[in-house]
Structure 1
């Protein structure tokens, strides 16, 4: 019996040894086969590593990294929120750490017994290796340091401004910015705590001001010293700028690192130009002249006004030095083009009409014709303006360069100072007629004189009859008379507006006198046709009225004067010839 017991015990011992050998051999073989591979029943973040290879680990980690990269990351600080994703923020799965953890999932502390116990547990259970994450600090710092809103608030240096009349102080305020090092520290703590998404609160870092309250007070003291009265000179005129006005120009600025008072250049420029608006030169009137048929324009000396750029430094230097001398301020042209565009607005650029009448030379009347031509030459009739020759010339006197010659009075020729200027009136009347001007005031000669267009002429005396010209066009008209010893020509320069044509003439008797109507058509640019007429009433002869009765002969009436040129009855019978 005892022998049987020993025999059974020996068998069990052998079996136990064999079992140990088999299990140990299996352990050894399995360790060799799974060297550098993941143990049995190991998963990563819930995904089973099927074949235990590192390639399988890489596949799983690649998929997890793609998911993690798109997770939102929010960085918050005072007055600023930055939203991005984990990839941009430099956050990713720590593949090396997770791989090592997976490979060592069933490993003990390294001794054989612990490793055997871990191997034995792997036969009966499973283990899930959690993901861990890492932060690329360099990438985070680059992302933050290049962000456009890195500076949340720039520091506000202390300062002041006198724009409203008194110095208003501007308090110092520190700036704020987001420090990349603080962001790294906050994200690193979040990454260590768990998987994304992440929202971190980062304290803003202050940016201190450069200047102190003492610097501000020193600058204010200097500013009060600058607010003093200044004397200026503009276009040879002297002006005064009061201390209160100067104070409004002063503000603080940083110059070479120091907080100092300065003049606000734009404010100074605007202020001075406003104060001395009346110091501007008057705009010169363009002078239009005609020489040998060519039109010329003299713009005159360009008008100048206050002020050219650069006024502030001149006045600042005067305030700093405390000079009592007048500061000469630079002027600028009132018109950049010197008046060229204003001259062009007149519209005087072409000859629109001309008319010439002839006369005998070397008579007193020629002196008068030349004198009135000289006085009227260059006169400009602007749009809508009316020119009265009598108002413009005034009474013809010897003091004004006129001499005595023949005029018609009560149907008789007498001598009077200014006699003969009716030839100028008739020539001007015809030039205006064909220029398309209105002629609201005129009177024909009472006796027809053959050197003038029949029914289309005018006389002139003082105060009446007068000759008035009205400009109905949108362009100014330049009146330019010229003469020779035996002719007078009146040119009118403008921009041609009307096409003018004398269309017909009618006449009928008024007692013994003859009334003549001369019609014209003026065609405007839009095709509108305006018809009007001028008229003349002629006596039957010298010294006769419209009833055929003799008129009273004024004292001094004498056909021997030079005005008695080829007087012609309407019947065509020659009454007299020049004496």
Structure 2
């Protein structure tokens, strides 16, 4: 009996001791875990960047510094023992366009979530696991790569290594007895394997470390083999004997017409694989070039109605009209069908195109007042930048934005070509100086962004510039933060016309004061749009000068890009509706610091003139705000 009592007493004491120890351990663990409240858990890293124990703001600042450095370094690419540095940024108009973007906010949010449990009571156990089990946890930062630009930079770095595929072709010859021909076997091409390179590049960028990315080659065989092409050789000869082929405006041959002789046709005929069959066709690029003269004679672009506000009234200054467009693909099909027809006549396929905004629609616009205005200054801009700004104003002034339309500024301004009025400026890409069209349009983007906010319109897409540039400082307090950058294909500036009425875009340029004023006219529903003056959270100093040799400048010539101090800024955009409700959006912007970058000439041959290189306007320095 005494033994049983002793056993029960001892067991009870042990249970009590265990429960007390567990409770004490839980209290100690919970107390320890409190240090990570609103902080990243222990041993958590984003790529190679340790962020454990940091607040959201501290982690974001550390991560932005790492991505800034990663972009500035570019990426080293190795191919068959050869290495080259590939730039990830291009300097233009005093700002940069980046071929890679990092989503630091998403990475920090994911880092904060690591070691957290859906049940807050279990957070301490999750954090203890992070602290003592394994090697901690790694978060991959989301990375977006503009493959088109990166691939172009890779090709520029290794210009002599790719061998294009040579397709199987016909070689026709005219003799006294008529046309003869033979098939020329195609050759296997050697191309960069960008499909394999892309994930390697992404992994390297996500690590946020400097690492060499391996590039490999891949074979590309001709689409059509010799035997399949030989089967069509006699058909090609018959087409040549049947030439010329007439391209006519109308089936009866009236109107304009163009004759394609046998010699020209012989250079265009090719065997191609279509829908699993090898057929006789004409080369699309050669035929499109042939159609250029046809198009210029027959095509007419649709003309949108344009409007302006004079003495408070909306008046039309450009009448709408329908257009005519040449359907090149359908016309090419008609031409190929005519190769074996008698007579050999192909009728061009024309389409009527309607204007997006007609004069009839302008009769009841409901435009009664100015909704809001945005301004900016382009003082200190070089000549071609000013001309591109003037062209952008020309393209935007007087256009109408339909109800419920999501307006894309890039769509309204393109195509970015000489024919559409844009002039080139020189840009810096790694150790190269190259001409590029459309510099200065970010002035348009910034002014439009401010007009949309002052009009109380929802912003669907906006990205700030990479650098602090004086052109874009806010007119209210001179701070950075209320700018918007655009570039084709991205980023874009988009906003939504949710007013229920048309909006008239009035774009004005004052060349005397070197300023822009964009006003949106429409029908007010009682809303008001406003934004707080941008506040600089911190200024980020730039580093020491960076000098790079280039073959694009004469020996000894130096050309420098102005340095730019970095910054983190914030402002709040508010839409106050007629019923008193308010919708607020916080725009946080990060601007990278950029040291003074200098290209030092080492060329001995012909070089690119550098007079039109925009070195960035005035250098923006910190502005003290109340």
Q: Normalising to structure 1: TM-score of the pair?
A: 0.37
Structure with the greater alpha carbon radius of gyration: 1
